[in-house]
Amino acid sequence: MSELVSRLGRTQIAAVCIATALFAITATCPVSAQQPQAPAPLAAEAELPRRVVLRFLTESDFPPFNFLDEDGVLTGFNVDLARAICLELQTSCDIKSRPWGELLLALKRGEADAVVAGHKITAEALADVEFTDRYFHTPGRFASTKERPQASMTPEGLDGVRIAVARGTAHEAYLRAFFRDSAIQPFENVDLARDALVGGKIDFLFDDAISLAFWLNGTLSKQCCEFRGGAFFEPRYFGDGIAIAVPRKDPQIRQLLNSALKRVRQSGRVDELVQRYFPLKVY
Contact 139, 232 (CB under 8 A): yes
**Closest among 101, 54, 102 to 79, alpha carbons compared:** 54
Residues contacting 184, CB < 8 A, separation 6+: 163, 165, 172, 175, 176
Contact 138, 239 (CB under 8 A): yes
Q: Look at residue 17 in the predicted model and tell me its pLDDT.
A: 34
pTM of the entire predicted model: 0.74
Q: Look at residue 32 in the predicted model and tell me its pLDDT.
A: 30
Residues of the chain with CATH 3.40.190.10: 2-22+45-137+239-277, 140-238
Helices (H), the chain: 2-11, 43-46, 77-89, 103-108, 123-126, 170-178, 190-198, 209-217, 235-238, 251-266, 269-277
CATH number, span 2-22+45-137+239-277: 3.40.190.10
Positions in the chain whose pLDDT score sits under 70: 1-47
Q: Report the alpha-carbon distance of residue 179 to residue 69 in Å, rounded.
A: 41
Q: Are strands 66-68 and 74-75 parallel, antiparallel or unpaired?
A: antiparallel
Q: Report the alpha-carbon distance of residue 17 to residue 25 in Å, rounded.
A: 25
Class of domain 140-238 (CATH, top level): alpha beta
Q: Report the alpha-carbon distance of residue 78 to residue 111 in Å, rounded.
A: 19
